Amino acid sequence: MHLPKTVLFLCVFGVLIGCFWPFGSIMSIYRNSVFIVKGLREFCKSGYEHAAKSFDKAALDVDVSSQAFLITGANSGIGKSAALAVAQRGGTVHMICRNQTRGEEAKKEIETTTGNQKVFLHIVDMSDSQRVSDFAKEFAESGKELHVLVNNAGCMVNEREMTSAGYEFNFATNALGTYILTSHLIPVLQKAENSRVITVSSGGMYTQKLDLNNLQSEKTATFDGTMSYANQKRQQVIMTEQWAKKYPEIKFFTMHPGWADTPAVQNSMPDFHARFKDKLRSPEQGADTVIWLCLAKAPLDAESGGFYLDRKPQSKHLPLAWTKSSAGDEEKLMTILEDMSAKFSKE
């Protein structure tokens, strides 16, 4: 066989790089590059405007005055925008916020702009696993109705911090908090018709593969908040698929809001924000798909477990990115989270 010299050179070069440079970091550079290219095309304001041209304008003309919604992180950004949209259409809104002052301000704004008086504020810090568990149990036992749960609260803390229960802070908030709240509220959602759970994940999850041995970045020598966050956003996508399989009577979705200009982005990613601020979506544009998944009729007919951007189901993996995990690992994730969660539900 006669290989052209350049091909031969590239093969030798590739093998050498492969030997000296771990496969993991080559993969990581590849995934990040593909992710950025995709992001510039689809996740910015221009991507939203392009997609919005084919939106069904009437999809959100609904009255949800007989339904109750629970939205975490409802005082700011995407969560507040979703709470406003629901309140405007008559829904009962349970806002979950960690800060009383910020929560009350947002509640007042929602009430005055929509005239809806069925807005309730609950103070829960989603990083406080015991508090999340206690709140969810109280809610479930109160006999209150719930049709739609929106797991929106999320954070990207850039230093390794631990909660008092001993979990890495981002993990406690984004992954474990989502798991505990949702799993305790599933029995309440099962009593309602057409119930839905929407979890605000992130396109950042494209860069990560589930790693059961490093769920809290415990094996990562130099802690990286962006990677930790992206890992939990991947965990949310997998949790959602598992729930979708287990509870066919409820619709479960994850979604990516795109890149929207909110306090979370300003504070946690100041360099990214400074560079992209003119290209970012508004919080309302970021919230559009959350609102659509909560309110529109179409998602009730869609397959449960999907990951959405701009009202359309998306692939959960970038091409050739090696981010797919085994069915065994995905089931194991649920067992691990359940064991963690169980520690907080003791009588």
Ligand X SMILES: *[C@@H]1O[C@H](CO)[C@@H](O)[C@H](O)[C@H]1NC(C)=O
Ligand Y SMILES: NC(=O)c1ccc[n+]([C@@H]2O[C@H](COP(=O)([O-])OP(=O)(O)OC[C@H]3O[C@@H](n4cnc5c(N)ncnc54)[C@H](OP(=O)(O)O)[C@@H]3O)[C@@H](O)[C@H]2O)c1
What residue ranges bind ligand X (CB under 6 A)? 99, 101-102
| Binding at 293: pick from ligand X, ligand Y, none (beta carbon under 5-8 Å per type) | none
Window contacting ligand Y (CB under 6 A); options: 188-196, 210-218, 258-266, 328-336? 258-266
Is 265 a binding residue for ligand Y by CB under 6 A? The answer is: yes
| Binding at 153: pick from ligand Y, ligand X, none (beta carbon under 5-8 Å per type) | ligand Y
User: Judged by CB, which is closer to ligand Y: 130, or 192?
Assistant: 130
What CA–CA distance (Å, rounded) separates 197 from 156? Answer: 22
Angle between helices 45-52 and 23-42 (to 10 degrees): 60
Phi (first) and psi of residue 42, to 5 degrees: -110, -30
What CA–CA distance (Å, rounded) separates 161 from 155? Answer: 12
Give me the amino acid identity at 324: K
Tell me whether residue 308 is one of the annotated catalytic residues: no
Of residues 139-198, those binding ligand Y (CB under 6 A): 152-155, 173
User: Judged by CB, which is closer to ligand X: 98, or 184?
Assistant: 98
DSSP state of 311: T
What CA–CA distance (Å, rounded) separates 84 from 78? Answer: 10
Closest residue to ligand X, Cβ-based?
Answer: 99
User: Judged by CB, which is closer to ligand X: 105, or 329?
Assistant: 105
| Binding at 101: pick from ligand X, ligand Y, none (beta carbon under 5-8 Å per type) | ligand X
Is 77 a binding residue for ligand Y by CB under 6 A? The answer is: yes
Angle at 150 between CA 185 and CA 156, to 5 degrees: 110
Among residues 276, 176, 180, which one has the least CA distance to residue 231?
176
Catalytic residue among 48, 179, 229, 308: 229
Is 125 a binding residue for ligand Y by CB under 6 A? The answer is: yes
DSSP assignment of 152-181, as one string?
A: ------SS--B-TTS-BHHIIIIIIHHHHH
We find the least distance from the C-beta atom of residue 261 to ligand Y, in angstroms, to be 7
Angle at 175 between CA 160 and CA 142, to 5 degrees: 125
Q: Which residues bind ligand Y (CB under 6 A)?
A: 72-73, 75-79, 97-99, 102, 125-127, 152-155, 173, 200, 202, 256-257, 259-260, 262-265, 283, 286
Residues marked active site are found at 229
